[in-house]
Structures are given as C-alpha cells and as structure tokens.
Amino acid sequence: MMGGLPGFLALDWNGTVVPWFGEPPFAGALEFVRGLQAAGVHVCVVSHAEPSQIEADVNRVGFKADEICGTGNKGGEFDRLQQHWGNGLAIGDTAMDLRAAVRAGMPFLQARLEGQPMMEMAHGCINDWAEAPLILRSMAGIFTSA
C-alpha cells in the first residue's frame, strides 16, 4: 500500500456516492474509490439502510465493495473497522456521519455534492469527486503519523 493513505475507507452511500438508491453515481465517485482499493485501502460501505438494500444498489452501479455494513450505529462500526484495519477515513454527507467519525476518533471528509453547508468539525470537504484526490493528499500526514 502507498504511504499516506488510510487503512480503510468508511463510505456513506446515499448522498455521498449516489444521490439516492436507484440513481446514477455522482461523477468520479466510483473511480476515486476504486483507485483507493487498487492502492490497498479496504472500502466498507457503511449506511443506515438495510444491508440487502445497500448491497443491491452497490451491485447495481457495478461497484465491488470490500465490505457492506447496514447499521444504526456507525460509530460502533467505525471502531470495529479501526481495530481490524488501523487508521481510517470516513466520507459522508450528514451530521450523523460526522458525529460517528468524531466519536470514533477518525478524520471525516464531508461530501457537499448537493450544496450542503460546511460542517465545522470536518477535516475537509468535496463539492465534486474530482477534488477528492487533492484533499486526500493534503490529509496524508493524518494517516502516517497515527
């Protein structure tokens, strides 16, 4: 794995990769996440929806997640992922996603793909998935120092 990357990515689905189940992915989302996988980052789609619903939509867009987790407790899942994969990064679009990442002591990248206001405690934000590689490079020290 390349240095400066998280051991895992906890990825919200609705509002982050797709606007909603059944809709096309945001431009560049799948390419960015596949690039992380190719570099050795474990990608877990973590959503509040039912696992079967998440899995169906992930498969629909042709993405092969390393893991899918439907949960009402994202913070607990983030803790579990950190115990197994080390330093992680959470990407999501809601305050619930941010709170779960903060609770787990993880950096959070906010997806503002539909014009959401910036959340103060986010480590960064993307307004377009094309920005994600640059933002992740700027965060590299977080993953190598922890």
Q: Name the strand (E) or helix (H) holding 9.
A: strand 8-11
pLDDT band at residue 4 under the 50/70/90 scheme: confident
* Whole-number percent of the chain with pLDDT over 90: 90
Q: What is the CATH number of the domain that holds 18?
A: 3.40.50.1000
The verdict on residue 2 lying in a domain is no
Q: Give yes or no for a contact between 90 and 97, defined as CB atoms under 8 angstroms apart.
A: yes
141: left (phi over 0), alpha (psi -120 to 50) or beta: alpha
- How many Cα atoms occupy the beta-carbon half-sphere of 12 within 13 Å? 27
- Digit-coded pLDDT (tens) for 84-131: 999 999 999 999 999 999 999 999 999 999 999 999 999 999 999 999
The verdict on residue 3 lying in a domain is no
The verdict on residue 36 lying in a domain is yes
The verdict on residue 129 lying in a domain is yes
What DSSP designation does 27 have? T
Entry pTM: 0.94
What DSSP designation does 99 have? H
Tell me the residue type at 53.
Q
Q: How many domains does the chain have?
A: 1
Q: Give yes or no for a contact between 73 and 105, defined as CB atoms under 8 angstroms apart.
A: no
Q: Name the strand (E) or helix (H) holding 92.
A: strand 88-92
SS3 38: helix
- Beginning with the edge strand found earlier in the chain, give each strand of the sheet holding 8-11 in spatial order: 67-70, 42-47, 8-11, 88-92, 108-111, 124-126
The verdict on residue 19 lying in a domain is yes
Whole domain around residue 61: which residue ranges?
A: 8-145
